[in-house]
């Protein structure tokens, strides 16, 4: 009998090519997703050193951040900004030059990389997957190690060798128990985790989310949870595979079939952490009484139940915290003590790799049905397939009738890299994952929340407890 | 990659917590092409802290003060480089002319990106950072010496502090070694690993 091991340990150990007594280990990468971002840096390193991609069939190029959400049919010609056009062109050229399959702007499988990784069944239990984007941990919800790499050196290393040097993180288990109430969804759970763990609280750790609340979640809800691991400083966030995972995966494009499926399933069932496995850290949360959460500040940990008030910096323990929160409230133009439900918003956005899947759209549509928004609002589905599915279900009509703009799929207003930005000083209710200064555009004021909460804010024009509608 | 051995350079104090990679390299600069070998990302580095909304230098910002011109070391507050994984943030640090960051804590991904670009990242307790800020504030333009081999730094007042660094990273920084070159020394191990891995996970189809 081998010693009891965590799921993280089991998968990590299986991917160590060169074990170092101390320091970093050389890790094998089963699959790598290469988004356009700054990937041109990585490709240029290869080009300038005369290197090639070692295993092109284990790498997939995807364009997601810079795609327009309007007028997609016009292609590159429809993009006014020359910098954006150039990034898209460079990715096209690099994928072609280095022999990578490319899900480009007109591809039928187009979507946000972290959305389509699960949707296509690229992310599977037991794999090690990398992508040059910090929200790569999303796919860890499928029971794999999914971790971000830098777009320059690290990406060029993955492409040239199909490996990555990594220091083994410590294992941290976040146990979430309790049955969440009506109007509360997985986004609220992860915002509560952020508020508890803090922005740097997970640094150097790989998270495993466990507990009855996680077990009860659908696959899509779990993807939302793992997505925000990096907001607590962890590069890796995982959830043990179970029947929910297998049912979700079965039949997807890259999922194994027939006898191979059975073989894989036997292996996958060995992956969950052993009962007496030891974690370096444990955090417990009960979400039985959790209210819908909203962020009020400029760091993902700055979130509170919608029933709370804007906090007073004076109540924070250290001078550093007090000065940071004071600065955050100044930036957010908020006064301590204001009830969160008194905060008026100027616009609403539903989308991003955190909250743009079918369940997110359905939950928002359920709130919007028969109502009208009072502020500008837009929605960008996580993939073109999701967009089509939503249209088949008639959700697009609900959004459009409520006054939402029904856009194409892209990272869009989450970070505004494609030009979809929140104007300076505008306050946005957003389903996104970051509320840093300027994240949605210079001077933009972001309040993060769940899709039904964004829908509620859009129809009332204020941060609103969706349970009261 | 340029080797990092001993550096004596002007250090600038930056007492702002949670400067994320989006502040280090704002998105609109992030999408500009960087010509290989050109410091094109210097412009983006901490742009919105260095310049106001009409692109005029903020004269009160530390890096704009004459005494700190040519600084190659930045002494930072907690969570410097948290947030998005953009490696352009590390390139921006490099292109601006910095060779080392000394701070309370750093974003994990950002540290990896810095080390791979030849930028040394040194974590120190808040108390040490406080005294460095104080000395650098009182004597603008003062220098700090960092000796990577000895894992030590010498403050302007002569006080010596030690720091930890991953041994593999240290070796590569000292020699200026590129990771791909190091990895290819393990080509045989990698082949053997792949053959075994493929046999064990036969269900993994190629991405096509």
Judged against a pLDDT cut of 80, whether residue A312 lies above it is answered with yes
- Is B182 among the domain residues? no
- Is B106 among the domain residues? yes
User: Residue A446: its pLDDT value, please?
Assistant: 98
List the CATH number of the domain containing B161: 3.20.19.10
Using CA atoms, how far residue A358 sits from A332, A379, A396, in Å, is 31, 12, 12
Residue-wise burial string across A236-261, b where 16 or more C-beta atoms lie within 10 A, e elsewhere: bbbbbbbebbbebbeeeebbbeeeeb
Q: Which residue of B has its CA nearest to A30?
A: B204
Helix spans in B97-186 (H): 108-116, 126-138, 167-175, 179-184
Nearest to B183 among A31, A132, A161 (CB): A161
- Is B139 among the domain residues? yes
- Is B85 among the domain residues? yes
Q: Which residue of B has its CA nearest to A41?
A: B34
B85-94 residue pLDDT tens: 789 999 999 9
User: Residue A1: its pLDDT value, please?
Assistant: 56
Nearest to A254 among B31, B178, B205 (CB): B205
Which chain A positions have a beta carbon within 8 Å of B34's beta carbon?
40-41
Structural tokens at position A208:
């495993």
- Residue B31 phi/psi, 5-degree rounding, is -90, 0
Using CA atoms, how far residue A380 sits from A54, A71, A411, in Å, is 35, 13, 8
Say whether A148 and B109 touch across the interface (CB within 8 A).
Answer: yes
User: Residue A199: its pLDDT value, please?
Assistant: 84
- Is B184 among the domain residues? no
User: Residue B36: its pLDDT value, please?
Assistant: 87
A4-40 residue pLDDT tens: 999 999 999 999 999 876 788 999 999 999 999 889 9
Domain hosting B77: range is 6-177
Say whether B77 and A320 touch across the interface (CB within 8 A).
Answer: yes
Structural tokens at position B157:
């007042």
Mean pLDDT across the stretch A311-334? 95
Task: Calculate how close chain B gets to A107, using CA atoms only, in Å.
Answer: 13
Suggest the residue from B85, B103, B115, B188 to mutate for an interface test with chain A (most A CBs closer than 10 A).
B85
User: Residue A227: its pLDDT value, please?
Assistant: 98
Rounded Cα distance between B50 and B61, Å, is 6
A464 versus B178: the higher-pLDDT residue is A464
The ipTM value here is: 0.91
User: Residue A169: its pLDDT value, please?
Assistant: 95
- Is B109 among the domain residues? yes
Nearest to A320 among B17, B23, B203 (CB): B17
Q: How many domains does chain B have?
A: 1
Suggest the residue from A60, A150, A162, A250 to mutate for an interface test with chain B (most B CBs closer than 10 A).
A150
Which chain B positions have a beta carbon within 8 Å of A30's beta carbon?
201, 204
Cβ pair B134, B112 in contact under 8 A: no
Structural tokens at position A277:
């496995």
Residue B138: Cβ within 10 Å count = 10
- Is B23 among the domain residues? yes
Q: Which residues of chain B have pLDDT under 50?
A: none
Say whether A87 and B90 touch across the interface (CB within 8 A).
Answer: no
Nearest to A24 among B168, B190, B194 (CB): B168
Residues with Cβ within 8 Å of A264's Cβ and at least 6 positions away in sequence, in order, are A124, A125, A256, B201, B203
Domains and CATH numbers, chain A: 7-167 (3.30.499.10), 170-270+278-286 (3.40.1060.10), 294-468 (3.30.499.10)
- Is B208 among the domain residues? no
């Amino acid at each position: 009998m081998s010693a009891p091991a965590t799921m993280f340990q089991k998968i990590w150990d299986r991917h160590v090519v060169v074990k170092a007594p101390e320091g970093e280990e050389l890790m094998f990468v089963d699959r790598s997703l290469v988004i356009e971002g700054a990937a041109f840096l990585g490709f240029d390193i290869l080009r300038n050193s005369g290197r090639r991609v070692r295993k092109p069939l284990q790498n997939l190029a995807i364009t997601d951040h810079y795609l327009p959400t309007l007028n997609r049919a016009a292609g590159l010609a429809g993009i006014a900004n020359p910098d954006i056009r150039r990034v898209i062109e460079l990715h096209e050229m690099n994928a072609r030059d280095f022999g990578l399959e490319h899900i480009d702007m007109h591809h039928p499988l187009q979507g946000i990389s972290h959305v389509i990784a699960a949707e296509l069944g690229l992310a599977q239990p037991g794999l090690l997957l990398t992508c040059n984007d910090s929200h790569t941990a999303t796919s860890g919800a499928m029971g794999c190690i999914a971790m971000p790499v830098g777009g320059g050196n690290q990406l060029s290393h993955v492409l040239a060798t199909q490996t990555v040097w990594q220091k083994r993180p410590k294992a941290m288990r976040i146990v979430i128990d309790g049955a969440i109430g009506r109007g509360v969804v997985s986004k609220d759970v992860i915002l509560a985790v952020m508020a508890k763990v803090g922005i740097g609280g997970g640094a150097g750790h790989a998270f495993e989310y466990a507990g009855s609340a996680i077990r009860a979640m659908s696959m899509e809800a779990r993807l939302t949870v793992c997505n925000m691991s990096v907001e607590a400083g962890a590069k890796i966030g995982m959830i043990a595979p179970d029947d929910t995972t297998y049912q979700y995966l079965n039949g997807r494009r890259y999922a194994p079939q027939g006898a191979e499926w059975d073989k894989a399933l036997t292996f996958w069932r060995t992956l969950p952490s052993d009962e007496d496995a030891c974690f370096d850290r444990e955090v417990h949360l009960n979400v039985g009484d959790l209210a819908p959460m909203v962020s009020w500040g400029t760091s993902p940990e700055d979130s509170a139940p919608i029933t709370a008030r804007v906090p007073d910096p004076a109540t924070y323990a250290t001078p550093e915290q007090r000065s940071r929160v004071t600065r955050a409230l100044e930036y957010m133009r908020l006064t301590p003590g204001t009830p969160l439900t008194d905060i008026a918003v100027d616009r609403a956005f539903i989308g991003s790799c955190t909250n743009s899947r079918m369940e997110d759209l359905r939950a928002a549509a359920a709130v919007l049905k028969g109502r009208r928004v009072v502020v500008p609002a837009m929605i960008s589905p996580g993939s073109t397939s999701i967009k089509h599915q939503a249209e088949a279900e008639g959700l697009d009509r609900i959004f459009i009738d409520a006054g939402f703009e029904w856009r194409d799929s892209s990272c869009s207003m989450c970070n505004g890299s494609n030009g979809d930005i929140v104007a300076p000083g505008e306050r946005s209710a957003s389903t996104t994952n970051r509320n840093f200064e300027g994240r949605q555009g210079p001077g933009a004021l972001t309040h993060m929340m769940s899709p039904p909460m964004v829908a509620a804010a859009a129809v009332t024009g204020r941060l609103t407890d969706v349970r009261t509608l | 990659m340029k080797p990092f051995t001993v550096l004596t350079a002007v250090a600038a104090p930056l007492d702002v917590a949670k400067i994320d990679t989006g502040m280090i390299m704002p998105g609109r600069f992030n999408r500009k092409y960087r010509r290989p070998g050109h410091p094109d990302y210097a412009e983006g580095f901490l742009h919105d802290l260095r310049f106001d909304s009409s692109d005029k230098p903020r004269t009160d910002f530390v890096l704009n003060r004459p005494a700190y011109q040519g600084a190659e070391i930045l002494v930072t507050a907690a969570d410097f480089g948290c947030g998005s994984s953009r490696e352009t943030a590390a390139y921006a640090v490099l292109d601006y002319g910095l060779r080392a960051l000394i701070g309370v804590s750093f974003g994990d991904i950002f540290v990896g990106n810095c080390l791979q670009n030849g930028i040394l990242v040194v974590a120190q307790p808040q108390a040490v950072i406080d005294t460095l800020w104080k000395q650098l504030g009182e004597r603008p333009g003062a220098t700090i010496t960092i000796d990577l081999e000895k894992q030590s730094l010498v403050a302007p007042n002569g006080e010596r502090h030690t720091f930890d660094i991953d041994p593999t990273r240290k070796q590569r920084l000292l020699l200026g070694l590129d990771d791909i070159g190091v990895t290819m020394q393990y080509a045989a191990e990698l082949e053997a690993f792949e053959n075994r891995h493929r046999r064990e996970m036969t269900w993994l189809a190629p991405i096509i």
